[in-house]
Amino acid sequence: MARADLRVINARVVTPSGTIFGGVGVADGEIAAVGVDASLPDADREIDAEGNYLVPGFIDPHVHWGLSRYEYDYHEGLEHDFETETRGAVHGGVTCVVNFLLQPEPYLPDMDFFKRAGEENSYVDFAYHAIVHQEHHIEEIEELAEEGVRSFKTFFNWYKYASPELGIDHFDAGDVYRVLDKVSRINDGVVMFHAENEDLAQVRREELQEEGRNDLEAWGESSPNVGEAMQIEQIARLTEYTDSRAYIVHMSTGEGVDTVERFREKGIDIRAETLPAFLGHTNAETELGTWGKISPPIRGERSRKRLWEGLRTGVIEYVGTDHCPHKIEFKEKGEGKHGDIWEAIPGDNNGVEYLLPVMMHEGVNRNRLPIERVVEVCSTNNAKRWGLYPRKGAIAEGSDADMAIVDLEKSAVVDDDFYHTMEPGYSTFHGDELTGLPTHTIVAGEVVVEDGELQVDPGGRNYLPRYESGVPTR
């Protein structure tokens, strides 16, 4: 067997056909061999995993690089965030991201910039979803698909009363029908939905503010669980009507799980993603303050339990983070962690870096999910859904050598030194001790982080156009 560039030995390797004891050989950035140590080729460099797990690098399908444009210049925000936030990603064992394009202008004229911004500044390969919120965005869908963007997120009702400076317009049932119908004709096309009901939330917000409420539970009550279920109900019916494919981003409620399950049983292609923040927290944790303000809100214990159950039974197939990079002053509007819950900016920071540790800590180490299922929902399924499999999401011969070694007993407290992003100073997991951390992150066969130390410079990564993946995803 030809000599390899790198081999990892003495690992529990999580492969698509089961977990084996052994390792991998890597050549030219790809996995060249998987098997027991004695079967692996000689290599220029060897890492002894010391019996720890070797998993495919996690894929975060839900990040918002470019949001720091509110703190930087419009287009520079994207380049900035690719460098700072994917630096955090590799420290956390995430080796690929799918980022949401968001701007009021058409996307197509800027596609070269979007590709270059990542290729020159990212530590990991990346793909794109586009947020379709203007009439001209609907008209771009087919051409965006040719550019390899095949997933289109809409705000169905949500942001109906948003201030104009946000620059996002909501869609009604007619717009959503047109998007679902168009996308149903694109191979691997998927329509993604934020599922909250703003008509309901608008009234509840007013009521709660009149009562003088200013706490995390009030933020949850302002967009009640039933609103998510109502929206998913409509999305599922429109998906059935158009014979299309839908994906609920950041599903937060038990009612959502029940609704998706019911329509999945009818054979409708509606998929669901949830977030570590919903799996790790409840809104009874008032000490989270404005740091716990995300949209949709963190829910109660019943929902949290039902989300874990949904991951176990298969109703929820994907975990992403909805990582929103903002400086703490911007998030808190200068009022501190326990300032005005209504005025603070919604969104959690640093998800891309806490994804793997939280899923190991809350999922594997607390016996809620086996590590193989965690790998599926955080890596393999994300690669499949977004047309990246088997190049990504698997430890198998021919796949990109994107991997992490995970020590399930290694612990750290999430403090200001834990993260490596633009703003390490806050997240919903601040102050928590997490057990189950990556010791090495490998991207394209190169060790990029070893024992917390960054080994490489950013850039030289690939935009992943989602042409026909060759793998049926529906």
Backbone angles phi, psi at 454, to 5 degrees: -70, 135
Dihedral angle of Cα 323, 324, 328, 332, to the nearest 10 degrees: -110
**By CB under 5 A, is residue 140 in contact with Zn ion?**
no
**By CB under 5 A, is residue 273 in contact with Zn ion?**
no
Q: Cβ 418 to Zn ion, closest distance in Å?
A: 22
Q: What angle do CA 33, 14, 125 make, to 5 degrees?
A: 75
Q: Cβ 249 to Zn ion, closest distance in Å?
A: 6
Cβ(465)–Cβ(457) under 8 Å?
no
**By CB under 5 A, is residue 81 in contact with Zn ion?**
no
Cβ(363)–Cβ(374) under 8 Å?
yes
Q: How many residues bind Zn ion (CB under 5 A)?
A: 1
Q: Cβ 303 to Zn ion, closest distance in Å?
A: 18
Cβ(369)–Cβ(308) under 8 Å?
yes
Cβ(123)–Cβ(441) under 8 Å?
no
Lookup: tokens for 66: 């470019």
- Judged by CB under 5 A, the chain residues 3 through 22 that form the site for Zn ion are none
Q: What angle do CA 423, 452, 38 make, to 5 degrees?
A: 145
Q: Cβ 206 to Zn ion, closest distance in Å?
A: 25
Q: Cβ 407 to Zn ion, closest distance in Å?
A: 30
For residue 352, the cross-strand partners are none
13 versus 98: smaller Cβ distance to Zn ion = 98
* Binding range to Zn ion, per CB under 5 A, among 183-191, 270-278, 317-325, 415-423: 317-325
175 versus 196: smaller Cβ distance to Zn ion = 196
* Binding range to Zn ion, per CB under 5 A, among 319-327, 337-345, 415-423, 448-456: 319-327
| Buried b / exposed e along 251-280 (16+ C-beta atoms within 10 A) | bbbbbbbebbbebbeeebbbbbbbbbbbbb
Lookup: tokens for 74: 């419009």
271 versus 391: smaller Cβ distance to Zn ion = 271
Q: Cβ 49 to Zn ion, closest distance in Å?
A: 34
* Binding range to Zn ion, per CB under 5 A, among 83-91, 314-322, 364-372, 396-404: 314-322
Q: Cβ 17 to Zn ion, closest distance in Å?
A: 33
Q: What angle do CA 433, 436, 439 make, to 5 degrees?
A: 115
How far is 437 from 330, CA to CA, in rounded Å?
A: 29
Q: Cβ 322 to Zn ion, closest distance in Å?
A: 4
* Binding range to Zn ion, per CB under 5 A, among 199-207, 322-330, 373-381, 399-407: 322-330
Q: Single out the residue of 296, 431, 437 nearest to residue 361, CA to CA.
A: 437
Q: Cβ 320 to Zn ion, closest distance in Å?
A: 8
How far is 386 from 82, CA to CA, in rounded Å?
A: 19
* Binding range to Zn ion, per CB under 5 A, among 66-74, 156-164, 206-214, 315-323: 315-323
**By CB under 5 A, is residue 221 in contact with Zn ion?**
no
* Binding range to Zn ion, per CB under 5 A, among 115-123, 166-174, 305-313, 318-326: 318-326
Q: Cβ 378 to Zn ion, closest distance in Å?
A: 17
**By CB under 5 A, is residue 60 in contact with Zn ion?**
no
Residue entry with tokens 């982080």: 449
* Binding range to Zn ion, per CB under 5 A, among 38-46, 82-90, 316-324, 386-394: 316-324
175 versus 322: smaller Cβ distance to Zn ion = 322
279 versus 403: smaller Cβ distance to Zn ion = 279
- Judged by CB under 5 A, the chain residues 277 through 306 that form the site for Zn ion are none
Q: Which amino acid is at 268?
A: I
Burial of 42 (0-12, 13-18, 19+ CB in 10 A): exposed
* Binding range to Zn ion, per CB under 5 A, among 102-110, 321-329, 395-403, 436-444: 321-329
Q: Cβ 323 to Zn ion, closest distance in Å?
A: 8
First to last CA, the chain: 38
Q: Cβ 349 to Zn ion, closest distance in Å?
A: 12
How far is 369 from 399, CA to CA, in rounded Å?
A: 25
How far is 327 from 123, CA to CA, in rounded Å?
A: 21
**By CB under 5 A, is residue 317 in contact with Zn ion?**
no
How far is 332 from 272, CA to CA, in rounded Å?
A: 30
Outline where 122-164 has alpha helix (H): 135-146
Using CB atoms, what's the residue nearest to Zn ion?
322
**By CB under 5 A, is residue 348 in contact with Zn ion?**
no
**By CB under 5 A, is residue 322 in contact with Zn ion?**
yes
Displacement of CA 49 from its chain's centroid (Å): 27
176 versus 268: smaller Cβ distance to Zn ion = 176
11 versus 179: smaller Cβ distance to Zn ion = 179
221 versus 322: smaller Cβ distance to Zn ion = 322
Cβ(387)–Cβ(459) under 8 Å?
no
**Contacting residues toward Zn ion, per CB under 5 A:** 322
